[in-house]
Structures are given as structure tokens and as C-alpha cells.
Amino acid sequence: MAEAKKAKKDKKKGPKVINQIREIYKYTHQEDKALPWLLLVAFLLPVVVGVVAGLLMHWRWLTWIFMMILMVMLGVLLFTFVLTKRADKVGYEKLDGKPGAAISVLGNINKAGFNFPQTPVWVDPKTKDAIWRGTGYNGIYLLAEGNPSRTKRPLERQQQAIKGVTAGSNIPVYLISVGQGQGQVRLKDLRKKVVKCKSYEPTDYSFFLMKKIHPRRRFVLTKDELETLNFRLQTLQEKRGLGIPKGMDPTRPQHISRRAMRGR
């Protein structure tokens, strides 16, 4: 019985993977018209290399069989790699500049220990500038999305609030401004930037222009310490809040009834 169930799962898994690849291809091809040719080259390149090598080295028929199987597998692997990279590029281009793009990229980060809640800790309804807070084994992350000059003071306030929670500890707070301006991190590089934040420098915080005054120090939290930190930050957020009713999207301007404003 167990073997029969396993066989059924394997049968379902195969078509599901193929359907996923087909959906990714359709999604990417809408914006990337060169995709079919790139995928064709990616698949055929190892096969062509294998044929040329076989002709030059005079392989025997058994070697031909094994090497061609290997080259086809490499072609499939390269095909998948190119498709994934092109799909990521199209996805980032579609998200870039939209409110909430930063948290969309980091919300499903698959590295152990990272936690980026979908709710911002600060948002400006007019400009749609927003700040998200996340945690990981290497510290606390504040992601500013919008114009750096407008998010400077809210970031400083968030940093002060965090210091009240982490008083007595040396937990670093990483300030990351997401955008295409000078000193900002591009959306496509955001995940890499967050993962690489494994050490910090004591600084005289002049916003994003930080001057090194001490050598870098490595910081790592234990699992229990990270759970405690997440609990304290969640409690802080519940106390402070955003002043926005539940169920409302803070990045979209809400409808206000003029009759209600007149008291009718």
C-alpha cells in the first residue's frame, strides 16, 4: 500500500513540475521575446560541445551513449537555470517602483531565521513611502522604501524605538534604503544585501553615509535569543501600532465619506 501511494505521488509530481515550467515560460515570454532563442542555445550548447569532443577524441559507441546522456542532462540543467534567471529579471522589473515591492521580495526569503512581516512599521499614505522591519540571526533590519530624504526621520524614530527594546545588548540594526537612487539598494540586489549583513561597524549614524570608526564585528543570535527578540518587537508594534484599522491596505489611499465628516 505504501509503495502504491508513493508511486501515485511521483506521477502527480512529474506533470506538476512540467506545468510550473510552462507557466513560468508563459509569464516570462510576455516581456522577454528573446527567451525561446536563449533557452534553445542553453539546451543545445552542451550537446554540441559533446558532439565536437566526441569527434575529436574518437569515442567508442558506449562512450557516445553515456556522454550524450550526460550532455542532455547538462542541457536541461542549463535550460532551467536560464529560465529561472530571466523570470527573476522580469519579475523584478514589474515590481520595481511599486509600493510594497521590498517586502514582496523578502517576504518569502528561504534562509533560516529570517522573518519579515508583511505589515509596515511606518507608512506615509500620501507619498506611499514605507518602512518595514525584519529580523534574522545577525540582527534587525529596517527597510526604507521611498525617497531617502523623506524616510530619514521616520527611520531614526524606528531605530530609537528598537533601542528601547534591545537596551543593554549590542544587537545591530541594519538600515537599508531600497530604490534606484545614489546610496540605495536596487530591488534585484535586496535579497543578496540582506543575506550578506553578517557583521556591522560601530558608526556615527549620519543616515546612510556611515563613517567607519572601528573594525567590523561579527554578530550572531541564538535561536532562543531570536525568538525573544521577535516577541519583544511584536509587542512593541502592538503598543505603537500604525493607527490604521485592521483589514485596510496602508499603501492605498482610503475612501472617506464626506457625509460622515459633516456629522450626518
pLDDT in tens, 179-231: 888 888 888 888 888 888 876 554 444 444 444 444 556 778 888 888 888 89
pTM of the model: 0.65
Q: What is the structure's pLDDT at 107?
A: 74
pLDDT in tens, 10-69: 555 556 878 888 888 888 888 888 999 999 999 999 999 999 999 999 889 899 999 999
Domain range annotation of the chain: 7-95, 101-240
Strands annotated E in 63-184: 122-123, 130-136, 139-145, 173-178
Q: What is the structure's pLDDT at 30?
A: 86
Three-state DSSP at 131 gives strand
CB 183 within 8 A of CB 209: yes
Laid out side by side, the sheet with 173-178 consists of 122-123, 130-136, 139-145, 173-178
Q: What is the structure's pLDDT at 3?
A: 52
Is the C-alpha dihedral spanning 41, 45, 47, 48 positive or negative?
positive
